[in-house]
Amino acid sequence: MFNYRHTQIGFVTLGVIGMGLLLVGGALLAQAPAAALLVVLIILIVTAVQFAWLTIEIQDVVLTARFGPGLIRKRVPLATIRTCTVVRNWWWYGWGIRWTPRGWLYNVSGLAAVELTLTDGRRLRIGTDEPQRLCQAIAQASIAVRAASPESDLGEPSAPA
C-alpha cells in the first residue's frame, strides 16, 4: 500500500514560545518562585512540545495529521476524500488548530496548505510546506484504495496543474 510521511517544524511558534519561556524563567530566577509562574512555565513547555511540528502521514487507507508527539491528531479515511486542492491561507487564519470560513485548519507554519473536500461536503485544510506533493500523494493513495475496493464511487482527487 502507498505510504507518505512529511514533518514540518514550526520555527516561528517555537521562537515565540521560547521567548515566553525565557521571560517566565527569568522572572522565576529574579524572585522567589510563584506558583502562578510555575504553572505558566509548565503550560508553555507542554505547548512547545505539542505544537512544535506537524507530521502528515498516509498509511494504508488513512491520512493522519499529527501535532508534536501525537496527542493531538486528525485522521481522515482516504475513502472519504473527494478532492484535494492546493490553497494559500490568509495570514489571519494563524497556526495551530482553528475554525476558518473554509473549515477546520491544522497548521504549524506558513500559509501554504491543501484543502480536502470530503464526500459529505465538509472541508478541511492541512498546512504543509509541500502542498503539491501532498495532493499527489493523496491522489495516488486514493487510487490504490479504490483499486482495492472497486465498489467505491469516489471522484478523482484533484491537484492543481
Contact assessment for residue 109 and residue 13, using Cβ atoms and an 8 Å cutoff? yes
Tens digit of pLDDT for each residue in 115-148? 999 999 999 999 999 999 999 999 999 888 877 7
pLDDT band at 161 (very low <50, low <70, confident <90, very high): very low
Which residues are CB-neighbours of 37 under 8 A, at least 6 positions away? 24, 27, 28
CB 37 within 8 A of CB 27: yes
The domain 1-161 is placed in CATH, from the list 2.60.40.10, 2.60.120.380, 1.10.3660.10, 2.30.29.30, at 2.30.29.30
pLDDT tens-digit series, residues 54-75: 999 999 899 999 999 989 999 9
DSSP string, 82-128: EEEEEEE--GGG-SEEEEETTEEEEESSSSEEEEEEETTS-EEEEE-
Q: pLDDT digit string (tens) for 83-111?
A: 999 999 999 998 889 999 999 999 999 99
d(CA 54, CA 63): 13
Q: What is the rounded distance in angstroms from the CA atom of residue 19 to the CA atom of residue 13?
A: 10
The domains of the chain are located at: 1-161
